[in-house]
Amino acid sequence: MGGHAIVLDIGKTMSKASLWSPKGELLARRTRANLPSAGPGYPALDAAGIEAWLMEALAELAPLAPVSAIIPVAHGAGFAVLRDGALLQPPMDYELELSTSEMASYLGQRDAFALTGSPALPAGLNLGAQLHALQSRHPAAVSPGVTLLPWVQYWAWRLCGVAASERTSLGCHTDLWYPAADTFSSLAKARGWAESFAPLRQAGECLGTLLPEWAARTGLPETVRVHCGLHDSNAALLAVRAHPQIGDLESTVLSTGTWFVGLRTPAGPIEPAALPEARDCLVNVDAFGRTVPSARFMGGREAELLLGDDERLDVPADQPALLEAVPAVLEAGALPLPAQVAGCGPYPRGKGGWPARPQDSIARRAAVGLYLALMVDSMLELIGSAERLVVEGRFAGCEVLLRSLASLRPGQTVYRAPAENDVSYGALGLLHPELQPAEPLQQVPAFAPEWVTALNKARTVWRNAAGAGENIA
H or E element in which residue 320 lies = helix 319-324
Q: What is the pLDDT of residue 1?
A: 56
In order along the chain (473 residues), what is the average pLDDT of each group of 10 residues? 90 95 95 95 96 98 98 96 96 95 97 95 95 95 96 98 97 95 97 97 98 98 98 93 91 94 82 89 92 94 93 95 98 94 89 91 98 97 94 96 98 93 92 90 97 97 76 44
Amino acid letter, 247: G
Q: How far apart are CA 243 and CA 93, in angstroms?
A: 34
Instruction: Identify the helix (H) or strand (E) that includes residue 425.
Output: helix 423-431
pLDDT in tens, 209-222: 999 999 999 999 99
Number of H-type helices and E-type strands within the chain: 17, 21
Neighbour-count burial for 342-370, b at 16+ CB within 10 Å, e otherwise? eebbbbbebeeebeeebeeebbbbbbbbb
Q: DSSP label at 200?
A: B
Give the model's pLDDT for residue 422: 85
Q: Coil, helix or strand for 388? A: strand
Q: Is 127 helix (H, G, I), strand (E, B) or coil?
A: helix
pLDDT at 472: 47
Other CB atoms within 10 Å distance of the CB of residue 307: 17
In order, the DSSP letters of 37-71 are EEETTEEE--HHHHHHHHHHHHHHHGGGS-EEEEE
In this structure, are residues 127 and 119 in contact, taking their beta carbons and an 8 Å threshold?
A: no
pLDDT score for 267: 59
- Can the peptide bond before residue 57 be classed as cis, meaning omega within 30 degrees of 0? no
Residue pLDDT, tens place only, 332-390: 999 999 999 888 899 998 889 898 899 999 999 999 999 999 999 999 999 999 999 99
Per-residue exposure over 131-154, b if at least 16 CB sit within 10 Å of its own CB, e if not: bbbbbebbeebbeeebbbbbbbbb
19-52 confidence digits (pLDDT tens): 999 999 999 999 999 999 999 999 999 999 999 9
Q: Decide if 251 contacts 387 (C-beta within 8 A).
A: yes
Provide the whole-model pTM: 0.90
